A = this chain, B = another copy of it.
């Protein structure tokens, strides 16, 4: 029997504690799948005085740098999150010859290129299935299964917190603040929900997905990002009338001139589209490719056990490689595709604004869309009793964000439009 493979774990929180449990409880199963035993030799934590059931206290250390620099590690599992010190620790682990499994989307969105090159130079593995959409296998399908095909678009619901909040707004007919408060009370949103509700978490995942799908490097700051804090109960109701459900979508798509657009924003998704029915804490990723057509991947996007499942899949894969004396294909990006500004993105829009309620206004409003070459699918006018105004709701055909912005400016500048013009993108028609 050969010696066990030495594994170090950085972080013993919600996911880390589950990973430790699986390594310790499933030793025989994992050994039979890998061909070698895994030995947990150290667990890097922030504080030693927290109760950690099942983990031998002798394994705990607060000196994470010393842990990853031991020099005898086969696999380092990084679950501490955040860009630093996680990035420096992962680099140090690679330098010392360990393969790395990470679930750290923030780090990978910023540093995937650097870390991939470091791993490739050192001949070790870097796997990160858990960084996007929790338990859903999406990284391998993009990195390997679809690598002989050309992806046109990747669109997903990749943040469970916002999906839960939007669900509550639909089900209970409440506004954003009330739904957020409920999500916080139930533990589905953090005390500071900014990263989730402003779309930053989804944007990091969008950058990773876009890079993999289009074989390029996408930096987090190249992702257009709009969260759900501005979504109102009116928007939810308008979506319902249109046969849609509001979802926070992360989208990466190829443009006609081979640049890409990467964006995160709420959208009204047609109920017949498979993403519309993805509810609660579930995530789903929809892929459109030239040869394969439409594919969808659905599963739990967060939580200790689901994320631990994805981490352990990577751990077994890199351990198998280690045991066989090889490393998997790191898949470094081979093109540097330009990321087009959001103004060049195309979308269909749902546009809502109040106008003076008198004859001819609907036609004059519609004409403004026409002068910007935007054609309309539906226009609906509803008199607002006692106000002297009517509400116009318009659904456009596909147009650019730039044209839409120009239309909004012109509408808001016209003497017959009252309230601010509200916009929401529409998907799946």
CB within 8 Å of B: which residues of A? Answer: 18, 22, 26, 29-30, 32-33, 129, 135-137, 140-141, 144-150, 215, 274, 289-300, 305-306, 308-317, 320-321, 324, 326, 329, 334-335
Contact = CB atoms under 8 A, between A and B. Distances in A.
Number of copies: 2
A3 B305 CA distance: 46
Contacts of A317: 144, 147, 329
Contact of A309 (B292, B309, B313, B329): B292
Most B Cβ at <10 Å: residue of A136, A289, A329:
A329
A313 B146 contact: yes
Most B Cβ at <10 Å: residue of A291, A295, A312, A314:
A291
Given A32-B215, A135-B293, A296-B299, 7 more contacts: A145-B313, A290-B305, A291-B308, A291-B312, A292-B306, A296-B298, A317-B329
Contact of A22 (B291, B308, B320): B291
Nearest to A23: B148
Contacts of A29: 150
A127 to B, nearest CB: 9
A331 B217 CA distance: 32
B310 A292 contact: yes
Nearest to A278: B274
Contact of A137 (B22, B140, B150, B299): B140
Contacts of A334: 32-33
A264 to B, nearest CB: 23
Contact of A292 (B147, B291, B299, B329): B299
Given A292-B306, A293-B135, A306-B293, A129 B147 contact: no
Contacts of A308: 291
Contacts of A22: 148, 291
Contacts of A312: 147-149, 291
A12 to B, nearest CB: 17
B145 A129 contact: yes
Nearest to A334: B32
A143 to B, nearest CB: 9
A332 to B, nearest CB: 10
A335 B308 CA distance: 24
Contacts of A309: 146, 148-149, 289-292
Most B Cβ at <10 Å: residue of A140, A309, A311, A312:
A309
A254 to B, nearest CB: 13
A148 B292 contact: no
23 contacts: A22-B291, A26-B150, A30-B148, A32-B335, A136-B295, A137-B141, A137-B295, A144-B313, A146-B309, A147-B313, A147-B316, A148-B314, A148-B315, A291-B312, A292-B300, A292-B309, A293-B300, A293-B306, A295-B298, A296-B296, A296-B298, A321-B329, A324-B329
- Which 4 pairs, one residue from A and one from B, show the smallest C-beta to C-beta distance? A148-B312, A137-B145, A135-B292, A291-B309
A314 B316 CA distance: 21
Contacts of A145: 129, 137, 140, 310, 313
A216 to B, nearest CB: 11
A309 B144 CA distance: 11
A229 to B, nearest CB: 29
